[in-house]
Chains A and B, each alone.
Chain A
Amino acid sequence: MAHEPNLLCTLSDSLAARCAIAKESVASVRLSERARLGAILWRNDVLVSSEQSLPGREALEATLPDGSRIQGRLAGRDPSTNVAVIRLERPVSAPTLAASLPRTGALVIAVGSDGEGRASARLGTVNSVGPEWHSLRGGRIEARIQLDIRLAASEEGGPAFNAAGDWLGMTTFGPSGQILVIPAATVERIAPVLAASGRVPRGWLGVALRPVAVPDELREAAGEASGLMVMSLSPEGPAAKAGVVAGDIILAVDGAAVRRLRGVLAHLGSDSIGKPVSLRLIRGGGIIVIEATIMEQPPR
């Protein structure tokens, strides 16, 4: 059928061509009879997917881009960056992914799979690109990337690409239905560690904390308006061993005020394990300092 080439046709054809290439990097993980999750064919024997949406079991079945089924094993998961890796029972052909940082306003294509080897695609723009951020679970994410697309539950965990076909990262559901991208740089940093050892070592104090206001009468002495109250302790954790008790209000970790959680998390990276740390806290109306030794976070 003859038609005059125009910009729209060219755009449309280019998008379809991009999807055809992108599809070769998309797998689909079976969660139940009807529920599936997207995944990225990251290495020839490793899939990367969204940690928050994967079940607890280890054995998983995936569908490859050609529609064939393959067995895999959940080889590692990191809730702090929402990255999980699935080791395939045998190597398959995986295209090389060229990573790139997105630009706000640029076109983005998010690709999923229907579980039969057919692709599904979403087109939108990069809604915003923010600086490095820390998740609630304490992970460092290289950039806060939000997309203005919709995503089906079965498409989460798939790859997002820019117009040049560069890989931007893994799509994931953020708060209030936001669609976020875990940047390729984060996946490239975390996935090799997970594939090798099953987990990402993190510094650990062994406390569950809740932000509280410092009572008025202690504000001046504390020098802080808020702190983190210890709700519970792991009996074998560094904080418990050092004598921290439930009800203590932590004000600072090694001089970093807990008001700025980023500063505290920076003190609990993988290089912190085994190092001493000073905890400044409120107990019984006074302020005390307790020394603890950071341990490696045990597996959940």
Chain B
Amino acid sequence: MTQPAARSRSRSLRVAIAARDAERAAALRALLESLGHLIVTEGEAADVVLADEELPRDEERATVVLGGTDTDAQGLLPATASPAEIDAALHAVASGLIVRSAPMRTPGFRAARESEPRLLLTPREAQVLDAIADGLTNKAIARRLGISLHTVKFHVESVFRKLDASTRTEAVARATERRRQETIDL
């Protein structure tokens, strides 16, 4: 069985731990071991540091902070991040990238935008998109909504055009971002 995503991240990293107490350090150690990483001690070269809550003072190495608020950290994940998210963040930060999880990104104080009607989805198109997000095929969407396969294809095409998407994944991602920006509470 091939798992391209898993293979590209399978390289084991040398990780240093910075935790507030021995108990947390042990938990992080167990997590890193389960992910197949090498835990290094102080003084040894590390690819990346995994810190708990706070970015350690004077830490100049690439660091992933769990549950912190310090935006100086190269990697910043909520305390509730899954092992897979932590693993992905460690690899990304070790490669020189900056990592934030989507919900933590502050969108900034913004204006109520007036949407371009041409690019808005109709209620039916929104239903089709929800079905796409659920992973349904066109045939399954037709069954769910009680419409013909031809009509589904027509709606899917329209959704792709309005969201400027070329794949189903892209369409769902664009729609999620739009929804986040456009939902209004009155």
The interface of chain A, by Cβ under 8 A from chain B, is: 31-35, 50, 52-53, 82, 133-138, 144, 153, 172-178, 180, 182, 204-205, 207-216, 225-226, 228-229, 231, 247, 249, 259-262, 264-265, 268
The answer, among A135, A226, A229, for a CB contact under 8 Å with B117, is A226
Size bracket of the B interface? 20 to 34
Q: Majority SS of interface residues in chain B?
A: loop
Of all A-B residue pairs in the complex, the 10 with the closest CB atoms, nearest first, are A225-B117, A213-B120, A226-B117, A175-B110, A211-B115, A175-B108, A35-B69, A82-B109, A261-B112, A173-B108
Contact B111 A134 (CB under 8 A): yes
The answer, among A177, A249, A261, for a CB contact under 8 Å with B184, is A261
- Residue in B closest to A202 when the chains form the complex, CB atoms: B186
- Complex Cα–Cα for A213 and B117 (A): 6
B167 within 8 Å of A (CB atoms) = no
The answer, among A176, A180, A231, for a CB contact under 8 Å with B183, is A231
The interface of chain B, by Cβ under 8 A from chain A, is: 54-55, 68-72, 106-115, 117-118, 120-126, 179, 181-186
Contact B108 A261 (CB under 8 A): no
Give every chain B residue within 8 A of A144 (Cβ-Cβ). Answer: 111
Contact B120 A138 (CB under 8 A): no
Q: Majority SS of interface residues in chain A?
A: mixed
The smallest beta-carbon distance between B35 and chain A, in angstroms, is 27
- Complex Cα–Cα for A33 and B182 (A): 34
The answer, among B55, B109, B123, for a CB contact under 8 Å with A229, is B123
Report if A210-B108 is in contact (Cβ < 8 Å); known contacts: A34-B55, A226-B115, A226-B117: no
- Complex Cα–Cα for A212 and B116 (A): 10
Give every chain A residue within 8 A of B113 (Cβ-Cβ). Answer: 136
Report if A180-B179 is in contact (Cβ < 8 Å); known contacts: A35-B69, A35-B70, A136-B184: no
